[in-house]
Copies of this chain bind each other. A is one copy, B any other.
């Protein structure tokens, strides 16, 4: 049997599968125990490899940590950009489409395993290893916020929204759609799908009450728009 088996096999088979298993297990242990509290024996056990194999692949603990952060950063950034690509530039139903976008943001980027892990590591180790997270900052928030803001600006230009500053609007959008989830996030929990949907729904409705200009806005705002023109 020369078949390369997926990393779901335990213990993992093959050089690449072992590497993935090590990084994956290490991510979990670093998040759970912190960098200082994580030990190589535990990571090796959870990865299903020997301790020496961990060293064979990564040299030392710090290099393993760097590899973990790199992996998470890459995957999270990819996930965010893929989700931004689904932003509703030409919405059929603005409210429903923005709710869908907010839910996808949460499910694909924030509440998923990678998102939770990266956020946790930034919070716990970010100040101790600033250079390590600088790339995340530059490739992550440094590019995603302008990209999201541009999408909101486009909606404004298309007559759907009345916003003054797309950057502020983008950040307030996220603040609103996640308003009811912050305590859960702080405690490291994962909100249920219902909770995500509810927070997104309430948040988008408030956002559109403040900024919405067209169909899918409420009757009051609808009358205001007519009276304003």
Interface residues of A (CB under 8 A from B): 32-37, 119-120, 122-124, 126-128, 133, 137, 141, 165, 168, 171-172, 174-176, 178-180, 182-183, 186-188, 202-203, 206-207, 209-211, 220-221, 223-224, 227-228
Residues in B whose Cβ lies below 8 Å from that of A202: 165, 168, 172
Residues in B whose Cβ lies below 8 Å from that of A137: 183, 187
Residues in B whose Cβ lies below 8 Å from that of A133: 187
The CA of A221 and the CA of B179, in the complex, are separated in Å by: 24
Count identical subunits in the complex: 2
The CA of A97 and the CA of B211, in the complex, are separated in Å by: 22
CB distance from A130 to the nearest CB of B (A): 8
Label chain A's interface by main secondary structure.
helix
The CA of A133 and the CA of B227, in the complex, are separated in Å by: 52
Interchain CB contact under 8 A, A187 and B37:
no
Contact of A179 among B35, B119, B124, B171 (CB under 8 A): B171
The CA of A172 and the CA of B172, in the complex, are separated in Å by: 9
Which 4 residue pairs spanning A and B have beta carbons closest together? A36-B37, A175-B179, A175-B175, A209-B210
- CB-CB under 8 A for A183 and B141, given A35-B37, A224-B227: yes
CB distance from A7 to the nearest CB of B (A): 25
Interchain CB contact under 8 A, B210 and A220:
no
The CA of A141 and the CA of B181, in the complex, are separated in Å by: 13
Residues in B whose Cβ lies below 8 Å from that of A180: 168, 171
The CA of A215 and the CA of B221, in the complex, are separated in Å by: 18
A126 nearest in chain B by CB position? B187
Contact of A176 among B119, B126, B141, B176 (CB under 8 A): B176
Residues in B whose Cβ lies below 8 Å from that of A188: 123, 126-127
CB distance from A110 to the nearest CB of B (A): 11
The CA of A133 and the CA of B123, in the complex, are separated in Å by: 18
